[in-house]
Amino acid sequence: MTGTGGGGPTTERPFLQLEGLTKTYGAHRAVDGLSLKVSRGEILALLGPSGSGKTTTLRLLAGFETPDRGRVTVDGEDVTSLPPARRRFGMVFQHYALFPHLDVGENVAFGLAERGGRTGRVAEALAMVDLAGYERRRVTELSGGQQQRVALARSLAPEPRVLLLDEPLSNLDPALRERTRRELREAIARVGITTVLVTHEQEEAFDLGDRVAVLNGGRLEQVATPDELYDRPASAFVAAFVGRANELPGPLLGGKAGARAVVRPEAMRFTAPGPGSLAGRVVARRFASGYAFFTVEGEGVTFEVFAPHDAARVGDAVHVTVDRVLLWKEPA
Amino acid sequence: MRRPRVSSAWLLTLLLAWVVAYPLVIVGAEAARADLGAFVRQPTEWAALWASLWISAASVVLAGAIGVPLAFVFERYDFPGRRVLGSLIALPAVMPPLVGVIAFLFLYGESGFVARAVRALTGMQSPWRLQGPAAILLVHAYSMYVYFYLFTRAGLARLDASMLEASASLGAGPFATFRRVTLPLLRPALAGAALLTFMTALASFSAPYVFGGGFRVMTTQIVNTRLNGDMPLAMLETAALTVLALLGFALIQRTEGNRLVTSVGKGTPPALRAIANPTARRLAAFAGWLLAIVLLLPHATLVLVSLVPLNSWTTEALPPHYTLGNYAEVFRDPEKLRPMLNSLWMAAAATAAALGAAVWAGQLVVRRRSRLSRSIELLLSLPWAVPGTVVAIGLATLFSVRSPLSGRWVLVGTLAILPLAYLVRNLPLTGRAVLAGFRQLDPSLDEAAQSLGAGRWRRLWRVTLPLLKPALAAGGALAFVTALGDFVTSVLLYTYDTRPISWEILESLRLNNIGVAAAFGVVLMVVSALALGVGTRASR
């Protein structure tokens, strides 16, 4: 699953490398032997539920936490024990952490050396995030989206080696999120900076990340391009986390007793009664732009079918066939 | 069916204006009749004014130099005993001003424990005198660093850790982060503490009164002029001090008005850093406990002196005899019990009335958003800015003439004047706590009670007051303790029938009955601590 596309790691030496990172808090192992490689200019998204260790990983990268074991290298340089101030990693915080006592321009200039073309660099950085001329504004007067862009400009102004984004869109209302996501992607692409971002939303990770690393309980479940993750998940956890997935008893689909088949709702369809079809009754329907998720009860299980919204009605007795089993879960 | 709302708001505003603002107006009017030229030409007047200013400024510097570093240590580092010490460190705050002053006298005075110890060790006679500006500043530094300590700790606790991390990730080292991020973000807290200290020092009376000697600040100058019978001059002095204080008050109002938002988003404060080096840990713990001992010495001194029988302690380093007789005297002698009961009932009555006024104000200001809201809030907080000396002289002047048409009756020399003065001085404390409590209430609770058919009084009794209990307890306890320990208004307004504890302490000291004075001090301290303890418990 490596090197097939989407900017996956190539034969060249990885720019940013995490090797066996482990971090424990008391008895809790927040990050457990995590290894990842990121190429120069690549955007890697860390995706996982809360408590999966993705934020801790980002803080280990930034230098706010020191790992118990493992190394972080950038361009061949070991930065594991380098303090954050000397790491030259830019970071955009979840709540932006803009300094309220400074104006927009002073915020952006914060990381720049005291003299020498500072004004020009600030203007450049603000222009890059479409906020040219905002230097003298107070940060508290800005909208959430603008604050986010100032935070991005501030972190990029000192020309860091790596950009870290902590849940960059979680603080915005949904209407704004999609547009900001696009702007963010364009800004990063323009700079061409190696980026690691943390998110718990699959859509965000897939949209922004060249590759996505799925974390669970401090461990890496799978790292791959979005398409690979969706189509060839390595585990039932990944399958369910990056999309909707039904789990059906194996024997229903010709599998072994005890095994379970993981099936995407769009890999199922309504059909005429026949051999191998599952009988059931539609108990609920949820619209999704022209299509709908139908909740079907039958054969002792409940599952979801994705079909045109008028394919069935609530209460209908239906038959369903499975086109493709995503993966088989063997009995534990 | 309900009577117009305006009337209630107007009534409260008028009442507050009558007892809070009117006395100041009267003082101003009387002062205007005095000879301003003589006042301006008096070098002693300028000296007192100047002394008030520089003592207050020096108090700010000293209190800040102690309180701010302490706050950083306790908010940022973890070491053994941190929790216990962190609360012990606020102890000077529970000592009524006069009690603190006499504890210092017994401890660091020329015949205090420290001087006796030095004498016993070196044979030197009277190594120093605890008098003049240095003595005043010592007491101020001890009792006022708490403001800087508490304000800075609160400011640090509100500081978003991601601000510091953002600074670090932009390449700023620890010192640069402190200078460019931490300090500017703490500025509102530091400015608040500085102004509070300045105002408290400006109004301070006990320390200059006991330790000043020939060194006069404005508060003691006023009392002295009054004693000399020069009423017009006293009025001018009072007016001058009021102007100074009101300037400070205006400054505070402005600072609070444009308080910076500490953080744009919500964040968590930085985690405590444990001191890893074992030697450093032991050193920190040792320094901490040493500090605690220094802080507790005045309290311990007071307890020890309260056990000394009359005239039994002459030249020895430690008192030779101990007895509980002073306490027996304080509680058995009706002449001594009287001031205690006086202080208790007057403080209780003043606190209850101040709480009542605060709840009334809360209903109008927060619930109904009355047009008079701003005036009511201003009148409630005004006495806080006005030194106790000024409040006392203002009320004494206002209520020394019978002229019902201009709202003046003779209350001076009656039972009512002292509780009234306590009430006025308590208004800011209860007002602040109760208004904050009202602002936290969900207005829909009152509306729910209305829709369930509850009338106005039933809603107040069954919904509002129970929900306000924490605010009432906190504000009430603080007000009660302040009134109980009050010295300056008491000394100016007492009558023989209402003589309060602080007057009796001073009287015992004058008769050289130090054991009884200390016993009164201990009782006052214990009752204050109990009241504050009950208040804190109930406000949780």
Contacts A99 to B, Cβ<8 Å: 163, 166-167, 181, 184-185
pLDDT of residue B366: 83
Q: What length does chain A have?
A: 332
- B118-122, B368-372, B425-429: which is most confident: B425-429
Cα distances (angstroms) measured from residue B269 to each of A241, B76, B231: 32, 10, 55
Q: Collapsing DSSP states into helix, strand and coil, what is residue B337?
A: helix
Query: With an 8 Å Cβ cutoff, are A84 and B169 in contact?
Result: yes
Cα(B319)–Cα(B312) distance, integer angstroms = 8
pLDDT of residue B268: 63
Say whether residue A8 is in contact with chain B using an 8 A CB cutoff: no
Please check whether residue B130 is in contact with residue B112, taking contact to mean a CB–CB distance below 8 angstroms: yes
pLDDT of residue A3: 37
Q: How confident is the model at residue B205 (pLDDT cuts 50, 70, 90)?
A: very high
Say whether residue A85 is in contact with chain B using an 8 A CB cutoff: yes
pLDDT digits (tens, 9 = 90+) for B39-72: 778 888 889 999 999 999 999 999 999 999 888 8
Q: How confident is the model at residue B1 (pLDDT cuts 50, 70, 90)?
A: very low
Please check whether residue B484 is in contact with residue B524, taking contact to mean a CB–CB distance below 8 angstroms: yes
Cα distances (angstroms) measured from residue B208 to each of B60, B464, B538: 16, 44, 36
More confident residue, B441 or A62: A62
**Closest residue to B267, CB basis, from A62, A88, A95:** A95
pLDDT of residue A332: 66
Query: With an 8 Å Cβ cutoff, are A96 and B262 in contact?
Result: no
Query: With an 8 Å Cβ cutoff, are A83 and B168 in contact?
Result: yes
Nearest C-alpha of chain B: how many angstroms from A137? Answer: 14
Cα(B184)–Cα(B189) distance, integer angstroms = 10
pLDDT of residue A5: 41
Say whether residue A149 is in contact with chain B using an 8 A CB cutoff: no
The model's pTM is 0.79
Rounded mean pLDDT, A133-141: 91
More confident residue, A12 or A45: A45
Q: Which of residues 261-280 of A touch B (CB under 8 A)?
A: none
For A303, list phi and psi in degrees, rounded to 5: -145, 170
Nearest chain A residue to B183, by CA? A101
Rounded mean pLDDT, B221-234: 87
Q: Collapsing DSSP states into helix, strand and coil, what is residue A34?
A: strand
Residues of chain B whose C-beta is under 8 A from some C-beta in A?
160, 162-163, 165-173, 180-181, 184-185, 187, 260-267
Rounded to the nearest 10 degrees, the angle between the axes of helix B43-76 and helix B132-158 is: 40
Dihedral, CA of residue A181, residue A185, residue A187 and residue A188, to nearest 10 = 130
Nearest C-alpha of chain A: how many angstroms from B83? Answer: 21
Query: With an 8 Å Cβ cutoff, are B169 and A154 in contact?
Result: no
Cα(B17)–Cα(B382) distance, integer angstroms = 10
Contacts A158 to B, Cβ<8 Å: 170-171
Q: How confident is the model at residue A123 (pLDDT cuts 50, 70, 90)?
A: very high
Please determine, for residue B166, whether its predicted confidence score (pLDDT) is greater than 60: yes
More confident residue, B116 or A1: B116
pLDDT digits (tens, 9 = 90+) for A177-231: 888 888 888 889 888 999 999 999 999 999 999 999 999 999 999 999 999 999 9
Nearest C-alpha of chain A: how many angstroms from B177? Answer: 10
Weakest mean pLDDT among A76-80, B38-42, B181-185, B211-215: B38-42
**Closest residue to A85, CB basis, from B163, B172, B184:** B172
CA dihedral (B327, B329, B334, B336) positive or negative: negative
Q: How confident is the model at residue A119 (pLDDT cuts 50, 70, 90)?
A: confident
Say whether residue A326 is in contact with chain B using an 8 A CB cutoff: no
A57: Cβ–Cβ under 8 A, 6 or more apart, which residues? A18, A21, A31, A34, A46, A198, A215
More confident residue, A205 or B322: A205
Please determine, for residue B184, whether its predicted confidence score (pLDDT) is greater than 70: yes
Cβ-count burial of B187 within 10 angstroms (0-12 exposed, 13-18 middle, 19+ buried)? middle
Query: With an 8 Å Cβ cutoff, are A86 and B171 in contact?
Result: yes
Please check whether residue A165 is in contact with residue A198, taking contact to mean a CB–CB distance below 8 angstroms: yes
Nearest C-alpha of chain A: how many angstroms from B168? Answer: 4
Which among A70, A40, A41, A39 has a CA at the least distance from the CA of A53?
A: A70
Cα(B33)–Cα(B52) distance, integer angstroms = 24
Q: How confident is the model at residue A116 (pLDDT cuts 50, 70, 90)?
A: low
- DSSP line for B69-121: HHHHHHHHEE-TTHHHHHHHTTGGGGS-HHHHHHHHHHHHSTTSHHHHHHHHH
Taking the alpha carbons at both ends of chain B, their separation in whole angstroms is 39
Which among B133, B131, B130 has a CA at the least distance from the CA of B51?
A: B133
Query: With an 8 Å Cβ cutoff, are B165 and A99 in contact?
Result: no
pLDDT of residue A1: 39
How many CB atoms within 10 Å of residue B534? 14
Please determine, for residue B2, whether its predicted confidence score (pLDDT) is greater than 80: no
A182: Cβ–Cβ under 8 A, 6 or more apart, which residues? none
Please determine, for residue A6, whether its predicted confidence score (pLDDT) is greater than 50: no
Residue of A61, A79, A95 best to disrupt the B interface, most CBs of B under 10 A? A95
What percentage of residues in chain A have a pLDDT greater than 90? 59
What is the average pLDDT score of chain A? 89
Contacts B166 to A, Cβ<8 Å: 91, 93, 97, 99, 154
Locate tokens 């640090």: which residue? B156
- Give me the interface pTM, i.e. the ipTM: 0.76
